[in-house]
Amino acid sequence: MTVLSALKLVSATRTRTVDPVQQSRSKLVEKLNEQLNIAQAKLNGRAYAPTKLRTVTDAATGESKTVEVSKRVREWFWNGDAGVINMCVKYGATTLYLNKKNATAIQVGTQQELVDVIKSLITATIAGEFDDAIANAKKATREGFGK
């Protein structure tokens, strides 16, 4: 009992809800980190192949087991005209508008610039600069389902 008496004990409850805006930011940051890993792998001449765990049932024995399978990740960037690289930012399947003029892509010159741009996009997302664009994308998705 001397160990417990040395600790600071309080009566506390854990909050189960997360701020929806913060949750949306976290989702976008997670996907931007995937794009950063892809861009860094291309810059270093490697392939990026993330994996996920999947439960499958063996047809012969009927036993279910967990196996590691590769996860499909699509690149948000592509080579455009004149050797430049274009990158869009997506929230789910929706491409986000990056400014009031409805620009949907960022143009960079090299792979290293692309890595730097993705890092700055992560910082901007954490700071809340994409909150309006995310809200518009969510609204458009909801309207697509007729709600």
Contact partners, residue 74, CB within 8 Å, separation at least 6: none
Global pTM? 0.81
* pLDDT-wise least confident of 12-16, 27-31, 37-41, 115-119: 12-16
Q: Quick one: tokens of 132?
A: 């309006």
* pLDDT for the residue 144: 84
* pLDDT for the residue 3: 84
Q: Quick one: tokens of 74?
A: 């699509």
The DSSP bridge pattern shows strands 106-108 and 85-87 to be antiparallel
Q: Position of tokens 């967990």? A: 66
Q: Is the pLDDT of residue 1 over 70?
A: no
Q: Which of 80, 73, 79 is nearest to 31 (CA)?
A: 73
pLDDT digits (tens, 9 = 90+) for 64-108: 999 999 999 999 999 988 889 999 999 999 999 998 888 999 999
